[in-house]
Amino acid sequence: MAAAAVGASHLVASTQAGALFGWQLWWVILLVNVLKYPFFRFAVSYTLQHNESLISGYYRQGPWYLWAFTLLNVIAAVVNTAGVLLLTATLLQLFIPSLSVPVLCWLILVNSWLILLGSQYRALDRIAKWIMAILSLATLVAVMIALVNATPPPADFVAPSPWSLAAIAFLVAMMGWMPVPIELSAINSLWLRSKQKLTLVTLKHGLFDFNLGYWVTALLALLFLALGALVQYGTAQPIAMAGSQFAAQFVSLYGATIGKWSEYLVGAIAFLCMFGTTLAVLDGYARTLRESFRIMAPASPTNKEITVGESLTVWIMGQSIAGMLVILYFKSALGPMLTFAMTLAFLTTPFFAWLNFKLAQRKPLSLAMRLYAWLGLLYLIGFALAYVYYLVAL
């Protein structure tokens, strides 16, 4: 889940937050991670306490819950696959400039298939750990270098405010995918079920593993904000808002500010970030779609876990090809599509957060955890309503 989280939300949204507004949004990023935490934690505790996935839990609450989740997931799977592929290919082009972006997308897909379709969850689990370890260390080094070489903005620089109507769409999109969309709680639940097939996972161990990954992603979000604030904030160059253009611009500006050699460090960090996300997106959404349609199929038992086999391969391949078709035929519209997916993720977050909370209460929760969850729900509902009001006011 950590590898999936450190993607567009960190590399693009967090870094853009720093580049546009300096340090003003650090507490917002931290707050949204803190307030979303219980709903991702509930997915882990529910899975381990009831020995079933969150998706099965949604179905037990009522079939329409699962239908709503699946509809959102189909949209997110295709758009997110196209988005992460395009961004990963753009970063890889920094190292292989002779190949076009579509060719690099296919190259990334083929390598992803070789990893995922071989030993599947075992390979994903192992590679994700290495990517997160290297990514965390390299990002920390990059921030330290940027801190040493940082120059203050010009004296006549007027700092823009994030607390304006013009900035609310950016804030919503950033928070929608921070640290990850809420549907990844269900994906993480399925990954946890797959891990249970390989080894014994106790509640204590599962929560430790989850907490480590979750809070590392929160720290990395702040580090990426620092990169944007230290390198781009206050510069005369206009900041590109499209994800792929921004990533390339950020890497080149890093080289111009600190030295050409640093482009390779930052480019490698960004590529690792997005390649890990690509692997997690391809595997995770394929698992949830396969499981959702299996459960909703007539005469299909809801309490029987299916083994990872050819059906997962079919879902991964289908999702990959759908994502590539979006890149090839709707490339110019991919930016608005990604913004739509991020906004949709934010607006549906309160509903699925409440559903996770409802499922978690099948086992007694402490008063502190219940209050924590209600505080998170009130925040998510309040901000979603504020954004709806903003849209109506337009």
Query: pLDDT digits over 337-393, tens only?
Result: 666 766 776 778 888 899 999 999 988 899 999 999 999 999 888 878 877 877 777
Q: What's the pLDDT at 256?
A: 66
Task: Examine residue 179 and say whether the peptide bond preceding it is cis (omega within 30 degrees of 0).
Answer: yes
Q: What's the pLDDT at 342?
A: 67
Q: Per-residue confidence at 335, pLDDT binned at 50, 70, 90?
A: low
Q: State pLDDT tens for residues 221-239.
A: 999 899 888 888 887 777 7
Q: What's the pLDDT at 339?
A: 67
Characterize 35-70 residue by residue with b for buried, 16 or more Cβ atoms within 10 angstroms of its Cβ, and e for exposed: bbbbbbbbbbbbbbeeebbbbbbbbbeeeebbebbb
Q: Which residues contact 298 (CB under 8 A, 6 or more apart)?
A: none
Please say if the pLDDT value at position 124 is more than 80.
no
The Cα 253–Cα 223 span in angstroms is 17
Could you tell me the two tokens for 386?
Answer: 């504020």
Residue 169: Cβ within 10 Å count:
16
Please say if the pLDDT value at position 308 is more than 60.
no
Characterize 290-329 residue by residue with b for buried, 16 or more Cβ atoms within 10 angstroms of its Cβ, and e for exposed: bbbebbeeeeeeeeebeebeeebbebbeebbeebbebbee
Q: What's the pLDDT at 300?
A: 47
The Cα 65–Cα 59 span in angstroms is 7
Q: Of 303-312, 316-325, 371-380, which range is least confident?
A: 303-312
Please say if the pLDDT value at position 55 is more than 60.
yes
Q: Of 74-78, 114-118, 219-223, 251-255, which range is least confident?
A: 251-255
Please say if the pLDDT value at position 309 is more than 50.
no
Residue 63: name the closest of 292, 285, 287, 305 by CA. Answer: 292
Please say if the pLDDT value at position 46 is more than 90.
yes
3-state helix, strand, coil in the chain (%, to 5): 80, 0, 20
Q: Per-residue confidence at 334, pLDDT binned at 50, 70, 90?
A: low
At 164, is the secondary structure helix, strand, or coil?
coil
Q: Per-residue confidence at 38, pLDDT binned at 50, 70, 90?
A: very high
Q: What is the pTM of this model?
A: 0.83
The Cα 391–Cα 347 span in angstroms is 12
Residue 357: name the closest of 338, 343, 373 by CA. Answer: 373
Please say if the pLDDT value at position 134 is more than 90.
no
Q: What's the pLDDT at 142?
A: 81
Domains of the chain: 2-152+169-393 (1.20.1740.10)
- Contact by Cβ (8 Å): 11, 276: no
The Cα 38–Cα 274 span in angstroms is 26
Q: State pLDDT tens for residues 175-199.
A: 877 887 788 899 899 989 988 888 8
Please say if the pLDDT value at position 333 is more than 70.
no
Please say if the pLDDT value at position 172 is more than 50.
yes
Count the residues in the chain: 394
Q: How far apart are the first and last CA of the chain?
A: 36
Mean pLDDT of 61-72: 89
Q: What's the pLDDT at 26?
A: 93
Q: What's the pLDDT at 253?
A: 67
Q: How far is CA 327 from CA 98, 201, 313, 385, in A?
A: 19, 39, 21, 32
Please say if the pLDDT value at position 241 is more than 70.
no
Q: State pLDDT tens for residues 247-263.
A: 777 777 667 666 777 77
Mean pLDDT of 20-27: 92
